[in-house]
């Protein structure tokens, strides 16, 4: 058995499985030294997908549980609706929903998927933390998204309402989507550090650094603010003292303004009040009280003659005493009515003082008093500002020392990871018909010095002190240049595929979706990409939306996406292809809607040849 230059081919894989290392290619030996990928099982994958009323899809039920391993291909004419599959998964993973995705004349779209999570401890822990375990099936996780035609959206995890953020966090451990949008991430150099840290498995270390960085930022900001206070301390002290003295001179009391307003209103109405209350008091004293006295005496005499009138007698006595109390209250109120009209002017002057404070220091007197307390506290802090600055500077130095240590450790790990990534990417590119291409990882580390300076502050960032840039050259003799400057569309597709394959060996996600990652490639490169995707499918569940027959030929399950018109309505249909239908579909992909006999023969050779190797 001859060995080719790529471990992704079936010959190399067969040899490797037989442990016949002396026959392995140099590339295969390098790959053998890479960390082994997560063991693939049928329980850790997308098992079912159901879609109702999404775009052109009326109803769709896909069952992948019979496809225990490998590559699942979706093919079809351009515009048939293959992207709808990706959109369905995107919605399940917490993506932005839009009413425009709901099928016309339908109230809502429903997307539902079941993922196996057997052995996925991190996912099970996340579900338990939020009370979202699947009580009926502890080995499965069901995601459901409902989008209404009015734009509202709800997402459910195991039939319990959840947030899109939680769904996104969960989906990061369930499925990895590689689309043409992801390829654009490679064209932005500020994303290169994320790729390197993912490959080098540095995210936990990077998060630890970031926590210290956040503390350092907060302390540095506090120190700057206090130092600015120090520069203007005397001016600030004079200003605060003026504010405190102004409030203390007025000496407001809580709710004083409300009490003064009540008193003022009474003073303004004192004449009218005296007239009304005086008249009432006169009638009670001179007219009502004498009459009630006669009534009470008469009823007491009558009750002595007839005991049946005892209750009436008591009522007359009660009325008499109540009127007597009322007369006394009115007399006391008349005595309390203020007669000093000069007090009105005093109240007006006092209210003017209080309102002046309220305009400057708070809408209520309570707020004015609270402001005075804050001023007093700040004045006290100004007296101890030097001590506060020294304490902050000391703490900042300590945190910065820790930050520098973590940044240095992170940089050291990145330099080692960059070397491994460059070698691994070079090997991957060799297998993707980039045998003379060069890939390098450049790391520029800012000098943050030995002690804190302004230069130190600019050296640190949320990701460390490093700037990572991928360098690439596709042509012999040309030095590697920043990837963003030299890569073409077809080259970018293969670079992204190589990167995804490397990262897939390290992550815990068993399901990978490629959305036309083969765009812009053909010929030998297309065959190499097909082999690489098939290699990834040996240890991952891979969904591939593709236009390349070379990739579709490797599929373990092949679905055809098409459109049909029924009663003036367009429907997207998706159906699984049998052996002969696969051959016809590959022939269409190779030669158009009317393939020749030779094209059909070639398509059959592709399908059956792959089947024999697999």
pLDDT value at residue 212: 95
**Strand residues in 454-590 grouped as ranges (E):** 466-473, 481-482, 511-515, 541-545, 557-566, 569-576
Rounded distance between C-alpha atoms, residue 456 and residue 470, angstroms: 26
Rounded distance between C-alpha atoms, residue 491 and residue 481, angstroms: 14
Helix (H, G, I), strand (E, B) or coil at 557: strand
* Run of H or E residues at 251: none
The DSSP annotation for 212-250 comes to HHHHHHHHHHHHHHHHHHHHTHHHHHHHHHHHHHHHHHH
pLDDT value at residue 414: 95
Q: Assess whether pLDDT exceeds 80 at residue 472.
A: yes
What the block records as the tokens of 531 is 């082999």
- Total residues belonging to the chain: 614
Convert the pLDDT of each residue in 381-403 to its tens digit.
777 788 888 999 999 999 999 99
Question: For 266-281, what is the mean pLDDT?
Answer: 76
Taking CA atoms, 53 is separated from 23, 109, 115, in Å, by 54, 5, 22
In the block, tokens 């001023």 appear at 375
The DSSP annotation for 103-165 comes to PTT-SEEEEEEEEE-TT-HHHHHHHHHTT---SS-TTEEEEEEEEETTS-EEEEETTEEE-HH
83 vs 75 pLDDT, higher one: 75
Convert the pLDDT of each residue in 360-370 to its tens digit.
998 899 999 99
Q: Which residues pair with 471 in a beta bridge?
A: 440, 482
337 vs 163 pLDDT, higher one: 163
Average pLDDT of every residue of the chain: 82
In the block, tokens 């037989």 appear at 18
pLDDT value at residue 236: 81
> What pLDDT band is residue 457 in, cutting at 50, 70 and 90?
low
Q: Assess whether pLDDT exceeds 70 at residue 18.
A: no
Rounded distance between C-alpha atoms, residue 548 and residue 526, angstroms: 7
| Residue 180 near residue 188, CB atoms below 8 Å | no
Rounded distance between C-alpha atoms, residue 533 and residue 346, angstroms: 91
Convert the pLDDT of each residue in 98-127 to its tens digit.
888 898 889 999 999 998 887 778 888 888
Rounded distance between C-alpha atoms, residue 157 and residue 142, angstroms: 6
Q: Assess whether pLDDT exceeds 50 at residue 4.
A: no
Q: What is the DSSP letter of 97?
A: P
Domain limits, the chain: 1-33, 242-381
Cα 94-96-98 angle, rounded to 5 deg: 130
Convert the pLDDT of each residue in 211-224 to its tens digit.
999 999 999 999 98
* Run of H or E residues at 178: strand 175-178
> What pLDDT band is residue 276 in, cutting at 50, 70 and 90?
confident
């Amino acid at each position: 058995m001859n060995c080719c230059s790529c471990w992704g081919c079936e010959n190399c894989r067969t040899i490797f499985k037989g442990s016949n290392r002396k026959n392995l290619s140099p590339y295969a030996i390098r790959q053998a030294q890479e960390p082994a990928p997560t063991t693939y099982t049928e329980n850790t994958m997308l098992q079912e997908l159901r879609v109702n009323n999404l775009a052109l899809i009326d109803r769709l039920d896909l069952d992948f549980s019979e496809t225990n391993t490998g590559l699942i291909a979706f093919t079809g004419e351009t515009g048939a609706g293959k992207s709808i599959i990706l959109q369905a998964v995107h919605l399940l993973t917490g993506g932005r929903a839009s009413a425009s995705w709901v099928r016309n004349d339908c109230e809502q779209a429903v997307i539902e998927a079941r993922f196996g999570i057997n052995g996925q401890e991190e996912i099970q822990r996340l579900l338990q933390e939020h009370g979202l375990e699947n009580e009926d099936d502890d080995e499965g996780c069901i995601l459901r998204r409902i989008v209404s035609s009015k734009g509202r959206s709800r997402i459910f995890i195991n039939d319990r309402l959840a947030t899109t953020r939680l769904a996104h966090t969960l989906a990061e451990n369930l499925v990895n989507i590689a689309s043409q949008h992801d390829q654009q991430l490679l064209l932005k150099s500020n994303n290169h550090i994320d790729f390197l840290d993912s490959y080098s498995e540095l995210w936990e270390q990077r998060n630890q650094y970031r926590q210290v960085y956040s503390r350092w930022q907060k302390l540095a900001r506090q120190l700057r603010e206090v130092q600015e206070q120090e520069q203007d301390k005397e001016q600030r002290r004079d200003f605060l003292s003026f504010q405190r003295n102004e409030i203390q001179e007025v000496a407001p009391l809580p709710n004083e303004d409300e009490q003064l307003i009540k008193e003022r209103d009474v003073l303004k109405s004192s004449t009218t009040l005296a007239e009304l209350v005086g008249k009432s008091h006169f009638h009670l004293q001179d007219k009502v009280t004498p009459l009630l006295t006669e009534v009470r005496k008469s009823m007491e005499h009558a009750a002595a003659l007839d005991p049946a009138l005892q209750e009436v007698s008591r009522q007359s006595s009660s009325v008499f005493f109540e009127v007597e109390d009322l007369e006394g209250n009115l007399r006391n109120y008349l005595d309390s009515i203020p007669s000093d009209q000069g007090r009105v002017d005093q109240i007006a002057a006092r209210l003017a003082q209080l309102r002046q404070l309220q305009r400057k220091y708070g809408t209520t007197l309570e707020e004015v008093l609270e402001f005075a307390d804050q001023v007093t506290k700040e004045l006290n802090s100004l007296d101890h500002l030097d001590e506060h600055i020294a304490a902050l500077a000391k703490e900042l130095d300590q945190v910065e020392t820790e930050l520098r240590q973590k940044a240095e450790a992170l940089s050291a790990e990145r330099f080692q990871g960059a070397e491994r990534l460059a070698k691994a990417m070079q090997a991957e590119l060799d297998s993707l018909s980039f045998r003379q291409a060069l890939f390098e990882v450049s790391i520029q580390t800012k000098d943050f010095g030995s002690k804190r300076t302004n230069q130190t502050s600019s050296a640190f960032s949320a990701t460390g002190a490093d700037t990572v840039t991928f360098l690439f050259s596709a042509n012999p003799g040309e030095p590697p240049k920043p990837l963003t400057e030299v890569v073409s569309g077809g080259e970018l597709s293969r670079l992204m595929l190589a990167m995804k394959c490397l990262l897939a060996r390290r992550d815990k996600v068993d399901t990978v979706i490629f959305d036309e990652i083969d765009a812009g490639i053909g010929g030998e490169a297309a065959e190499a990409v097909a082999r690489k995707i098939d290699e990834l499918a040996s240890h991952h569940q891979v969904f591939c939306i593709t236009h390349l027959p070379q990739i579709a030929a490797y599929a373990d399950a092949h679905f055809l996406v098409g459109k049909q018109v029924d009663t003036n309505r367009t429907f997207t249909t998706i159906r699984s292809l049998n052996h002969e239908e696969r051959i016809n579909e590959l022939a269409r992909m190779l030669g158009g809607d009317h393939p020749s006999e030779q094209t059909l023969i070639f398509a059959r050779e592709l399908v059956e040849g792959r089947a024999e190797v697999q």
